[in-house]
Amino acid sequence: MRYRPYMRYKAVSAAWMDRVPEHWAVEPVRMKYLLRNGYSFDSGRFAPEGTASERLVRIRDLSPVDSYVYTDEPCPPTAIVSDGDVLVGMDGDFNAVIWTDGPAKLNQRVCALRGADADSTRFLLYALPTPLKIINDTAYSTTVKHLSSGEVLSEKVPIPPQPELRSIVAHLDRATARIDALIEKKTRFIELLREKRRAVIVRAATKGFGVGVTMKNSGVEWIGDVPEHWVVSRLGHFATVENGTTPSRENDSFWAEGTVPWLGSGEVNQKFVTEATAFITDLALRSCSLRLLPMETVVVGMIGQGKTRGLAAILKIDATINQNLAAIRPGPCLLPNYLLHVLEAAYEWVREAGRGSNQAALNCEILSEFRLALPPTAEQEAILEHVSRTLNVMEALGRKTEQSVSLLKERRAALITAAVTGQIDVRAEVPAEALA
């Protein structure tokens, strides 16, 4: 769609726009919109259930959520939000959304904005994110960035005549809905690709890709039936499992000018480990019960409630590891990359094996007892080749789709900014029924 510009413009002084149509105004938010701050509720009274009127809107609720928290604590009427309010998170990314889920209580560090009518409020929803992003990008903070009500109220926004404002809002509502539908469709496709990828990995680790192969019961819940000629046994039968340690941070001779790669548990978040977390000295290597593990060693995260526990990666460098990682060094019957696929397929089962009464954790003994089904090495190589070809096609398609989603998001943002600042004239694009 090709848009026309307005006939005449005037220069304005604002961080996110340098001109608007000549007949538009530009004013601080406080001149046209009412801002209400949230209330400091007592978190001790938060509950997982309650009535609709007791629902609490926090910063995290500005993104889609599965459930809210509730509070029966009374609050000022100004801290009650209703449909049509624009809500702004005052910490973090300064997100702005329009609330459409009925009356609710507004927590502190979230503010509500409302104009004289619904169209004016929706126009602010479209106009506000760009200046908020500029504030966010330029704000200095060593932790979480904070936004003040005064900054929101002082931010300048365009004020078109009401008929044009209605046209802009109507056009953006329709245009962004189309773009959002495309983004949702492509995002769902990416999710389906991820599900398909996992299915390929699970099949590779439990069934292979042979046709007409006689199957047998593995006796292992997560595996099910396997080809009859595969060997089912514990991991310790095919590999050695060990972990590392962290040299004392108080001993400079263990760390200063170190050259030996050392890995923390976070490194398993990358499938192929190519960089060290830190470097230790040769003295630390000799003195601290550490082994320099060779490339192609598989490492597994052993602690935590997050995704790290049970996550596996493969070393592409020689490295030492800390005590929260396990190193698995496959023997001649087990190919490292095949083991990586097995552990990915069994991720949920491995995590559950490490669920303890206090901190969830795996250990080397648990991993050594982990049972897997193993084909001959020649078949492992054939399976790996098949998986590699299949995943390469899927990953290329996924990357292309992700790029398309990024372009759609850029297009959406550019369209909104151009429309609300009057760089394009959308009045001719709005059918009369949309303004009725």
Interval 48-60 mean pLDDT? 90
Closest CA to 88 of 147, 29, 145: 147
More confident position, 168 or 2 = 168
Segment 176-223, tens digit of pLDDT: 999 999 999 999 999 999 999 999 999 999 999 888 899 999 999 999
- Regarding whether 368 and 254 lie in a shared domain, the answer is yes
Closest CA to 383 of 327, 329, 342: 342
CATH number of the structural domain spanning residue 76: 3.90.220.20
Spatial contact of 327 and 343, defined as CB atoms under 8 Å apart: no
Which residues have C-beta within 8 Å of that of residue 377, sequence separation ≥ 6? 332, 333, 334, 335
Question: Does 192 map to a domain?
Answer: no
Q: CA 371, 374, 380 angle in degrees (round to 5)?
A: 140
- Regarding whether 350 and 238 lie in a shared domain, the answer is yes
Spatial contact of 136 and 145, defined as CB atoms under 8 Å apart: yes
- Regarding whether 236 and 108 lie in a shared domain, the answer is no
Neighbour tally for 35: CB within 10 Å: 17
**Domain end call among 350, 374, 398:** 374
The domain total for the chain is 2
- Regarding whether 247 and 122 lie in a shared domain, the answer is no
- Regarding whether 304 and 229 lie in a shared domain, the answer is yes
Tell me the average pLDDT of the chain: 92
Question: Does 352 map to a domain?
Answer: yes
Q: How far apart are CA 361 and CA 206, in angstroms?
A: 25
Question: Does 149 map to a domain?
Answer: yes
Q: How far apart are CA 331 and CA 336, in angstroms?
A: 9
- Regarding whether 249 and 138 lie in a shared domain, the answer is no
pLDDT at 340: 96
Domain that holds residue 368: 209-374
- Regarding whether 244 and 357 lie in a shared domain, the answer is yes
What does the DSSP assignment read for 77-141? Answer: GGGEE-TT-EEEESBTT--EEE--S-SEEEBTTEEEEE-SSHHHHHHHHHHSHHHHHHHHHH---
- Regarding whether 224 and 81 lie in a shared domain, the answer is no
pLDDT at 143: 66
Question: Does 286 map to a domain?
Answer: yes
**Domain end call among 349, 374, 399:** 374
- Regarding whether 215 and 147 lie in a shared domain, the answer is no
- Regarding whether 220 and 333 lie in a shared domain, the answer is yes
Question: Does 432 map to a domain?
Answer: no
User: Sign (positive/negative) of CA torsion 77, 80, 86, 92?
Assistant: positive
**Domain end call among 93, 124, 159:** 159
